[in-house]
Amino acid sequence: MLSITNFIDEMIKFFPEIATEIEKTKSDYFEGCDTIIIEDIIMPRVVALLKRNVEFDKLKSVFAYFEIIATCADDKLSDVFSVCCLEILGNEKIILERAKQYMGPITTILQREADMALGRVVDN
């Protein structure tokens, strides 16, 4: 099973420029600042990547890893992934539509469930 630490470490591989910011956040806050790191540091990079929509190989790799998380995460990471990653992807329609081009089948289902849990209208 993959943990939040595994997730953050892998995201640093995709976005090496965030390593220093993550370390600073860890030192400024406390143990358990994982959601802050994911929501405020990692996901803005993913959303920006989707907005630019030019680094196709990187997008494919990120979302392939998201599919691994969707199927292999421990309970804590699974919950955090749903709230901090998948809900954020549904915040903007254009971002969600682009993300769907890269999502695997399990990630797609989980993202839809995250939207429904928020009361968002979802396509059938």
pLDDT tens digits, one per residue of 81-99: 999 999 999 999 999 999 9
Query: Which position has the token pair 């929501």?
Result: 39
Q: Give the per-residue pLDDT at 1.
A: 95
Nearest to 104 by CA among 50, 59, 46, 64: 64
In a domain, 122, yes or no: no
In a domain, 103, yes or no: yes
Global model pTM greater than 0.85: yes
In a domain, 10, yes or no: yes
Q: Are the C-beta atoms of residues 59 and 39 closer than 8 Å to each other?
A: no
In a domain, 69, yes or no: yes
In a domain, 80, yes or no: yes
* Domain range for 43: 4-117
What is the CA angle 84-44-85, rounded to 5?
Answer: 20
* Secondary structure (3-state) at 98: helix
Per-residue confidence band for 120, with pLDDT thresholds at 50, 70 and 90:
confident
Number of structural domains (the chain) is 1
Region for residue 66 given its phi and psi (left: phi exceeds 0; alpha: psi -120 to 50; beta: otherwise):
alpha
